[in-house]
Each structure stands twice: as C-alpha cells, then as structure tokens.
Chains A and B, each alone.
Chain A
Amino acid sequence: MRRYLSLYGYFLTLRIKTLLSYRLDFVIGAVASAVMQTSTFLALFFILRQTGTMEGWTLPELQLLYGSLILSLALNQMFADNLWSMTHLVRSGKFDTFLTRPVHPLFHLLAERFNHVGIGDFVCGSILVALAAPSLPFVFAGWRMLYWMLSVLAGGGIFFSLNLLCSVSAFWLLDSVTITRVVFDNHQFAKYPLTIFPYLLYGLLTFLLPYGLAAFHPIAWLLGKPGALPALLPLVCALALTSVSIVLWCRALPRYTSAGS
C-alpha cells in the first residue's frame, strides 16, 4: 500500500510538471470546465430568482446539491479520467504497456494521467457549497459535515465505478467511449432533485445508473426532503459498486488481446 502511495505521488509530480510546462494551457484547461458549470448554475440562479423554489427546494439547497455533484464529478475527473482513453489504448495496442510494468494495470492506468480540468470543477463545486452553507436550514458542521464529505467521496466512487464498468467493453468491442458517453450523460439529471422526474427516471437513476446516489439521496436526507433513501444506503451502495466494478474489470482483463504490432 505504502509503495503504491509513493508511486502515485511520483506519477502525480511528473504529470503536474508536464502540465506546468505550458502554464497558460494549464490555467485555461482548469478554468474552462468551471465556466461550463458556472453558466449552467447561473441559469438556475436566474430561474430561482423568479420562482423562489423548485418543487420545494430553495436556491441554497439546490446549490448544495449541484455543488456536491460537481465535487464528486471533479474527483472522478481528476483521478480516473484515463478510463476515457481505454478505446485508444486498446485499439493502438498501447495498453500492452500497462501489462508489462511491475504494478497493477488498473493502478497504472489511473495514476498515469491526473486531469487538471477537474481542478476547475472542484473549485467551482467548493465555492457553490461554501456560499450555500450559511443559508441552509441546519448548521453545516460536525457530523453533518462529515456525512456530506463521505457522500461526496461516495459520489466520486459512483462516477468512477460506472466509468470503470463501461470501460470493460473495450476488451470485447474495442470501443468503450460510446457506451461510457451514453451512461455518463445521465449524470446531468442528478444535478437536480430526482423528484422532479417521473418514477421511472427516479428508479433508473437510483438503482440502475445510480447517479442519484452520488448527490441527490444524501443531500435530500440531510435536508429532510421527500424521496431520500436512508442515510447510509448511498454510502454502502457506492462502496459495493466500486468493489464490484474493480473485481469485474480485473476479471475482464484476460479478454484483452493486443492490437498493436
């Protein structure tokens, strides 16, 4: 474990040094994603300014939900973005590299590429939550803060495990981007209270593509909103899903046949 942590630190330092060799690109990349999120949230802000609430959710509450989801997304973006490269790596035969090193292939795949774009999302999400906190109907501290932090981590785990499960398809179909895109795009629904959608979508986003567990259910539970699952369920599900996805990925690994020459 200690060896892997030290290796990760080495990979991270190397990646940041590489990124910083083009400082302007680094800054623009980090800011870009935050601009995208901010524009969507600004629209929500102007809408709520007219309506006051949306299905019983006030602006600070929606802000907490939106910010929490962005933070989970940012964690996945920063530390597991290389999963999007699986198609390219498998098709080009470059995935061979990961199999010839004396570390676990999945660890190497994830550690190889820290995505700085997630920094913008992380900062954006943190600002949204920090600005919402004083206006929430409870004191955002103590066990609530701890539960929220765990739920953000769990959310990151859900994003990671769904992307990991989709990336497995690259071993059979030589393409995982297509299916990952279709699955990943569903996280847009989870930026809003799931109760605004029909039951079918609520169920789909809770049990099948559980992006709802990444933010809606824990935040709704914290706020005492209808539709929330019991507090620990999202955390347990995230842990289980992450473990299952890692096991499945490792089981699927022998299916890889090199395409390179």
Chain B
Amino acid sequence: MTGFMRNLRSGLAFIPFVWRAQLAYSYSVWINLVIETLGLVLVYYFWRAVYVGHTTIQGYPESTAVSLMVWARIFAVLLTNSNGLEYVGLSYFGRLVRDGELATELLRPVDLQWVSFTKSLGRLAFELVLRIPLILIATVVFDVALPTHPLSWLQFLSSAFLGYTIIYLFDWTLSCLAFVTTATWGLNMIRWGVAAFLGGTLIPVSWLPPALAAVALHSPFGQALAVPLSLLLDGVANPPWSWIVLEQLGWIVVYTIVSRYVYGQAQKVVTIAGG
C-alpha cells in the first residue's frame, strides 16, 4: 500500500511538468491546431461527398455519419501517444534504450509503467484541452451535432478513460519490441495505420464486413475510440454502457498481466546503449 501511494504521489507530481513541457514550444501547439483544423475540413467535405445521392447508408443518415467521423477525427488523440512528447510507445522506448536513459529510469524508486501512465494521462488532458477550438469549429462552422445530455458525456468520458488505459497497456507491451529491434519508426507507422483503420477514424466500424467490425470493436484501438464514440452519439448502435465498461475493465486486467509479463521478460534481454 505504501508503495502504491508513493507511486501515485510521484505520478501526479509529474503532471504539471508534463503541461509545462508541452507548452515549451508554443508555436508547435498552434501548428498542430492548424493541421488538425485542415484535417477536420477534409473529413467534413469528404463525408458530405460520400452522401451525395444517398439519404442513408448502412442505416446512418448523413448528419449521423458526418458527426461520427468529425468527432472521430477530433478525438483521434485517444488512439495515439505520438503527438508532442511521448511517455509510452515504440519511439519513446527506442530512445530510452538508444540513449541509455532506460538505466536511469529503472534505478528510480518508482514504478516506471505507473509513472509513465500518469504522465501520459497528463499529456492526454493537455491534448483534449487543445481540442476545444476544434469542437467549437465543428459545432459552429460545420453545424455538427454536439450531445447536450450530460449523461452522454459522462458515459463517453468514463469509457474513453478506460479505453485509453487499454491502449496505454497495449502500447506498453508493443513498445517492448524496442528492446529487441531498432526498427521502431517502421513498427510505429504500422501501428498508426492499423490504429486509424480499426479505431474508426477512417470509416465507421459498423460499415466494415461483420467479422472485421467485430475484430475492430474488440481490438485495443476500437475500445479506445470507436466504442466510447458510440456512446456520445445518438443513432449509433452500441451495447449498454454497463456492458461496455465491464468489457473494458476485463481488457484492462488482461493487458495489465500481459504488459507486466512482457516488460519483465524484455528487461532480461535489453542491451542499453549510451553512457
């Protein structure tokens, strides 16, 4: 219990530093906002074009599909640890090994996985705050429906938090590959491509063939984005919130065990460079 409290205190203490580090290069924050806004414009007009000559596709009217894809674009940050500073992921682990920082990290009297998780949550909170202008653009300029019921938001946020935990643990497991290969950039790109597809940022998951949709929804990427988004929007088919949360908690238990085991094994084979 003392160890847990120490880890908790250490982790929370890092959050203000994470925010300061993210703001150190303020121009990059603005540039990211410009790029994200461009992405939003692209998604909006693309999906409007998809519906030319159609009133509904796969049971989705145009307004639902456009809203879903715009929100997926805005909240795609739930899928990734690669915007700005990273605290998990192949690139981060690769750097730890390459520069020899891993040795220092492992010597600290705190749990690296837990501390990185809290830092990662701090970074996510920062990114979500940066999404506020995008939400305003989406609702004011593009007239995209914004859920007004507080319960929808509560359900979305709780499921998004659990989903983010799942993807964090998944990424932690995957990142251990950096201990045995130097091809972290390529592997990261592959992870991004798969995440974008299965997470539902490119197409609504329910539009995929049934088997692929099932894989997507139960994958860490679907759990992190497509599933929480289904709670945010009316008219998007989804199981009850309680069932979703139960499944997410189950995945968290599974991925915690797997990530701890793989990380433990990886530590035995890692060769730390630098010095």
Contacts and interface: CB of A to CB of B under 8 A. Distances in A.
A is bound by B: yes
Contacts of A47: 50, 203, 207
A182 B34 contact: yes
Interface size class, chain A: 35 or more
Interface string B181-192: 111011111101
A139 interface: no
A185 B190 contact: no
A82 interface: no
A28 B54 CA distance: 40
A35 interface: yes
Interface in A197-226: 197-198, 201
A185 B197 CA distance: 19
Contact of B190 (A24, A31, A53, A196): A31
A58 interface: no
Nearest to A28: B186
A36 to B, nearest CB: 4
B49 interface: yes
Contact of B192 (A36, A192, A196): A36
Interface in B145-187: 181-183, 185-187
A196 B49 contact: yes
A24 B181 CA distance: 9
B141 to A, nearest CB: 12
A32 B42 contact: no
A50 B58 contact: yes
A172 interface: no
Interface string B220-253: 0000000000000000000000000000000000
Contacts of B133: none
A195 B53 CA distance: 15
Contact of A38 (B46, B185, B193): B193
Q: Is the interface of A mostly helix, strand, loop or mixed?
A: helix
Interface residues of B, number: 38
A212 to B, nearest CB: 13
A35 B194 contact: yes
A182 B202 CA distance: 21
Given A40-B202, A46-B203, A54 B50 contact: yes
A40 B196 contact: yes
Interface centre among A37, A39, A40, by most B CB within 10 Å? A39
A28 B52 contact: no
Given A25-B182, A31-B186, A54-B52, A46 B207 contact: yes
Nearest to A195: B49
Interface in A48-74: 50-51, 53-55
A186 interface: yes
Interface string B64-108: 000000000000000000000000000000000000000000000
Nearest to A57: B49
A55 B182 CA distance: 44
B128 interface: no
B124 to A, nearest CB: 22
B45 interface: yes
Given A32-B188, A35-B189, 12 more contacts: A25-B186, A28-B181, A28-B183, A28-B190, A32-B185, A32-B189, A35-B194, A36-B189, A43-B203, A50-B57, A181-B31, A192-B46
Can you list the 5 inter-chain pairs with the closest CB atoms, starting with the nearest?
A43-B202, A28-B186, A32-B189, A196-B49, A32-B186
